[in-house]
Structures are given as structure tokens and as C-alpha cells.
Amino acid sequence: MATSSVRQPHERAFRTGRFVAMVAFAAFFLFPIVFMFVSSFKPNEDVLRDTTSFRAFLPVGDISLNNYGDVFEDVPAGLFIFNSLLITCTTVALGLVVNSMAGFALSRLRWRGRNLILTIIIATLIVPFETVAIPLLLVVSKLPWIGVADGALTIEQGWLNSYQVQILPFAANAFSIFLFAQFFKTLPMELDEAARVDGASGLQIYWRIIMPLSGPAIASVAILTFLPIWNAYLWPLMVVQSEGVRPVMVGLQYFFKVAGGGGGGGGVRWGEIMAYLSLVTLPVLILYLALQRAFVESIASSGVKE
């Protein structure tokens, strides 16, 4: 800026002040996370003892991976992680397909009632999941599913304690549809017209032409679906009681009860708890650091809806 050369001393003080503030905030946001990772390598007693000194944030003392081993011994943490991976990946994949198809139909195909449907879908954005969670519990407890019993297909009633109850309710998402529709509108219509002249069907145009051009929208929707499903707590808490399909976050709450000092003497096993916390945070953190730009852009895109 032109004025910066005129008011140099003032400018320098301002910049120093700003830098100090930025570092202070960075410390505020990082200290719990550093503490979490560092403590996950320490014996339970050391975690408590170190809180009174700077050692709390340093990997010093009796460092080992024992806590991680203990986590897998105490609870089937590997199974919980597998369950969450399966649920999250399936929801993201399914969500990308159904929402992009809907977005395509609502932005690039012409049919009666299209604008009405789009308006209704956008209107549903105002309904938070918490509003429908309780009645949805009743709905999924009544829905039928095809099961296998004695080598024959049977119809079972009720989705409680299953994978599908954690996946299907979140596959279609009004905001994802909206994001796809908005993005598809920015692609030139001539693409579709040229393809139609060559005899392509709507489905072919969608799959062969539009989707390959929609990387940014796909990334945004994938991230915006991935995060809440991996971190899901309220819904799986209500619909999953059996260990076999339990996801990581509910497993974490369960593990906290195991390591929370209930019986057996000794206090809360904080070292092990920090190991579990680190274990479920690391995948998301790595993904975030690798795809930072896409993460931040997907969040920013949620702010531009009007």
C-alpha cells in the first residue's frame, strides 16, 4: 500500500503486535492437540504428574506405544475403525452419485415441476437433523430389510443395529444437491447440445461429460459428507447398541467408560484415552493437511448460499 512507506515506525509496531497476537492464538488452538498426542505415549501416572510443568507438552519421560496396544486389548478398536471407514466411504460414494444425479436433473434437464422441486429441496435446508432424529428412530425401527436366514432370503423388520441405518438416511442431502446444481449451471449448455446431436442420452451426458468436469464440486460434497459422518455421535448413539456395527465415536464413549476408572482400582487411564483420541483424530488430520485447500473451500462454499 502506498501509505506504508510514509508511516513506517507505526506500521512496524502494528505488524509486530499482530504477529504476537497470531502466535498467541496459535498456542491457544494447539495446546490441547499437542497435549493429546504427547500424552498418548506416556504412562497414565506421568500424564497426571506432568500437567504442572511444561513437560505436559513435551514427549519426555517413559515414552512408548504401550497405550495404543492397551486400547486394542480393552475394546475392539480395530473393528470400530473398520465400521466407521465402511460407513463413511459408502455414504460418501452413494451421496456423490444420488446428489449429483439430482443436481444434474434439476439444473440441466427440462421437465415439469423442476423449479418447484428445487425450491422445496432448498427449503428443507432449514430443518436441522435434531428436529427429525427422534421420529426417525421410529421410522427406521419399522423399515423392512432383506436378510438371509437358513440360506434363504427373508424380509426382516427394523433397521436398528445395522450398517444401513447409519448410511442411507445421510446419502441424499439437500445441500449437496444444491451445490451440484449450482456448479452444473456454470458449465456451458453447448456441451449437452453437441452431445445430444451425436445421439447421447441424458445419463451418458451426465456420466461422460458433466461429471468429469466437476472435480471441485465433487471434492466439496465429498468433504462435507465425510466430516459429519466420521464424527457422527447423536444418531449412532440412538440406533446402534451392538458392538459389531458400532462406529468409532460411540466406541470412544464406550471406551471412556472402560478406561474411566470404573472399578479395578486406580484413577482414569488418561494415557490410554489420549491414545484412542489420537488414533481417531489422526486420519482426519492427515486428510485435512493433505487436502487443505479443498477443505477450506468446501467450508467457504457453505457460506455463499443465499
Determine, following the binding rule CB under 8 A, whether residue 302 of this chain makes contact with other proteins.
yes
Q: Which of residues 21-50 bind other proteins (CB under 8 A)?
A: 21-22, 25-26, 28-30, 32-33, 35-36, 48-49
Tell the smallest beta-carbon distance from residue 215 to other proteins (Å).
Answer: 20
The candidate with the shortest Cα–Cα distance to 50, out of 40, 276, 28, is 40
Indicate the residue among 58 and 127 with the shorter CB distance to other proteins: 127
Phi, psi dihedrals of residue 82, rounded to the nearest 5°: -60, -45
Instruction: Look up residue 95 and give its three cell numbers.
Output: 451421496
User: Cell numbers of 42, please?
Assistant: 506416556
For CA atoms 136, 138, 139, 142, the dihedral sign is positive
Crossing angle of helices 215-230/292-301, nearest 10°?
Answer: 90
Neighbours of 278 (CB within 10 A): 20
- For strands 144-149 and 152-157, give the pairing: antiparallel
Considering only the stretches 64-72, 74-82, 183-191, 249-257, report the one whose residues sit in contact with other proteins under the rule CB under 8 A: 249-257
Contacts to other proteins from residues 212-231, by CB under 8 A = 227, 230-231
Does residue 149 sit in helix, strand or coil?
A: strand
- Per-residue binding letters, 195-214, with other proteins (x by CB under 8 A): -------xx--x--------
Q: Which residues inside 56-75 make contact with other proteins, applying CB under 8 A?
A: 56
16 is an interface residue for other proteins by CB under 8 A: no
Judged by CB, which is closer to other proteins: 177, or 222?
177
Residues contacting residue 65 through CB under 8 Å, at least 6 positions apart: 41
CA 261 remoteness from chain centre: 30
Closer residue to other proteins, CB minimum distance, 41 or 270: 270
Count of positions on this chain that bind other proteins (CB under 8 A): 92
Which one, 58 or 151, has the nearer CB to other proteins?
A: 58
- Nearest-angstrom CA–CA distance, 186 and 59: 51
Positions 175 through 194 that interact with other proteins (CB under 8 A): 177
Task: Give, as ranges, the residues between 93 and 132 that touch other proteins (CB under 8 A).
Answer: 98-99, 101-102, 104-106, 109, 117, 121, 124, 126-128, 130-132
